[in-house]
Amino acid sequence: MTILVLGGAGYIGSHTAYELIDRGEDVVIVDNLETGFLQAVHPKARFYQGDIRNRSFIDSVFEKEKIDAVIHFAANSLVGESMVNPLKYYDNNLCGTKVLLESMVAHDIDKIVFSSTAATYGEPERVPILETDRTEPTNTYGETKLSMEKMFHWTGKAHNLRYVSLRYFNACGAHKSGLIGEAHNPESHLVPLILQVPNGQREAISIFGEDYDTTDGTCVRDYIHVTDLAQAHIRAVDYLVKGNESSIFNLGNGIGFTVKEVIEAARKVTGDPIKTVIVPRRAGDPAKLIASSEKARTILGWKPEHADLEEIIASAWNWHKNHPNGFAK
């Protein structure tokens, strides 16, 4: 199969391209390199630099390449930024996806798997969260992802296009080769920020609030290895290729860890005491987000292979200690 990976130079996109190529698939990558890195593009993939909002560019890719299915990661994904600059998120995530869908429909490409998020749920009614639970995003990022899901739904009905939406919980970890890993600028995610302490780039890790209604007062999240996420995308493509109907799946381990537990695991992995400071809550953080991934397990036959938190952090550490500045020289 020839799979087009949009955003294949980014964190989850690059890991998915590596897994696809490992499985022997033919991979085409499109990325505007706004937040992605050329060094993250697999050397065996055919790479086109460009933006999904540019209709003639995306048309030209579909004309040059015979694409069997699309995996779509090309979006902005920072919750904080989405609250300060909401229109950037509407433009890239929604307008970009609209142009992409127009081009797919015009070229008779009828299968797409795309990144959604736990942020579509907002403050959850209960944990573990089911795909059928209330979706009431509390930030623009989650709102644009939920709107993307709806755009796929209605476009799919009208144009015979099928989609799988994958709602990720907290992606972390890095590829086993040590060649690619998480690199955001600025970094805002917990695991890479913790590892900046043993890497000598940060004095201490800030804990955003210790007065939540959880076992130790810090927020609980469901941390999932990026390679397990990548494998779920491949399963989702296979699911669509077999002719199955459009669907939405949560992706997480189904186990929650507090911020303090994540820091403790990082201490074990790195052997560093990792200093902490307690600071006020970050606005908009729900106390607990844990996925029910039963649907993905049952229907996609997906099972996380790297669910152990210390194993996840060890893979991230293997990347960060050798690439303290990410992909920058």
Binding residues (CB under 6 A) for ligand UFG: these are 77, 79, 117-119, 141-142, 170, 188-190, 193, 205-208, 219, 221, 259, 282, 285, 289
**Cβ-count burial 16-27 (b if 16+ within 10 Å, e if not):** bbbbbbeeebbb
Q: Which residues are catalytic?
A: 141
Angstrom distance (rounded) from CA 128 to CA 256 = 9
CB of 225 to ligand UFG, least distance (A): 14
Q: Which is nearer to ligand UFG, 25 or 182 (CB)?
A: 182
Nearest to 113 by CA among 4, 187, 275: 4
- Residue 213, amino acid: D
Nearest to 207 by CA among 215, 199, 217: 217
CB of 187 to ligand UFG, least distance (A): 9
Structure tokens at 16: 């998915």
Taking 3-state DSSP, the helix, strand and coil percentages for the chain, each rounded to the nearest 5, stand at 40, 20, 40
Angstrom distance (rounded) from CA 243 to CA 67 = 16
* Burial (0-12, 13-18, 19+ Cβ within 10 Å), 192: buried
Q: Which is nearer to ligand UFG, 3 or 191 (CB)?
A: 191
CB of 156 to ligand UFG, least distance (A): 24
Q: Which is nearer to ligand UFG, 79 or 309 (CB)?
A: 79
Q: Which is nearer to ligand UFG, 162 or 252 (CB)?
A: 252
Angstrom distance (rounded) from CA 257 to CA 223 = 8
CB of 176 to ligand UFG, least distance (A): 22
Q: Which is nearer to ligand UFG, 144 or 247 (CB)?
A: 144
Angstrom distance (rounded) from CA 230 to CA 76 = 18
CB of 290 to ligand UFG, least distance (A): 11
